[in-house]
Amino acid sequence: MRDEKEKQPVKKEHKIERIEKNSAAEEMGIEPGDVLLAVNGEAIEDIFDYQYLTQDEYVEVLIRRKNGEEWLLEIDKEYDEDLGIVFESGLMDEYRSCRNKCIFCFIDQMPRGMRRTLYFKDDDSRLSFLQGNYVTLTNMSDRDIDRIIRYRLSPINISFQTTNPELRCMMLNNRFAGQALGQVRRLCEAGIAMNGQIVLCRGVNDGAELERSISDLTAYLPQLESVSVVPVGLSKFRDGLYPLQPFDREDARKVLACIHGWQDRLYPKYGLHFVHASDEWYELAGEPLPEAERYDGYLQLENGVGMLRLFLDEFDEAMESLEKDPGKLEERRGELSIATGRLAYPYLADMARRMTERFPLLVIHVYAITNDFFGEQITVSGLLTGRDIIGQLRGRPLGGRLLLPQNMLRSGEDYFLDDVTVGQMEKALQVKIDIVKSSGHDLVRAMLEV
CB burial of residue 240 (10 Å; 0-12, 13-18, 19+): exposed
What are the boundaries of each domain within the chain? 14-87, 107-304, 310-448
- 127-141, 264-278, 289-303, 430-444: least confidently modelled range: 127-141
Architecture of the domain delimited by 310-448: 3-Layer(aba) Sandwich (3.40)
The pLDDT assigned to 450 comes to 57
Give pLDDT tens digits for 317-349: 999 988 776 555 567 789 999 999 999 999 999
CB burial of residue 115 (10 Å; 0-12, 13-18, 19+): exposed
Give pLDDT tens digits for 389-435: 999 999 999 999 999 999 999 777 899 999 999 999 999 999 999 99
The pLDDT assigned to 95 comes to 75
Q: What is the mean pLDDT of residues 130-150?
A: 87
CATH 3.40.50.300 fits 14-87, yes or no: no
What is the enclosing helix (H) or strand (E) of 126?
helix 125-131
The CATH H-level superfamily of 107-304 is pyruvate-formate lyase- activating enzyme (3.80.30.10)
The pLDDT assigned to 293 comes to 96
Q: Compute and round to an integer the Cα radius of gyration of the chain.
A: 25
The pLDDT assigned to 5 comes to 40
Query: For residue 7, is pLDDT > 60?
Result: no
Give pLDDT tens digits for 73-82: 999 989 989 9
Q: DSSP states of 8-45 as a string?
A: ------EEEEEE-TTSHHHHTT--TT-EEEEETTB---
Residue 313, classed as helix, strand or coil, is helix
Q: How far apart are CA 336 and CA 341, in angstroms?
A: 17
Task: Name the residue among 434, 369, 429 with its Cα closest to residue 401.
Answer: 434
Q: Within the chain, what is the greatest distance between any pair of CA atoms?
A: 73
Helices (H), 286-328: 307-324
Q: How far apart are CA 111 and CA 385, in angstroms?
A: 13
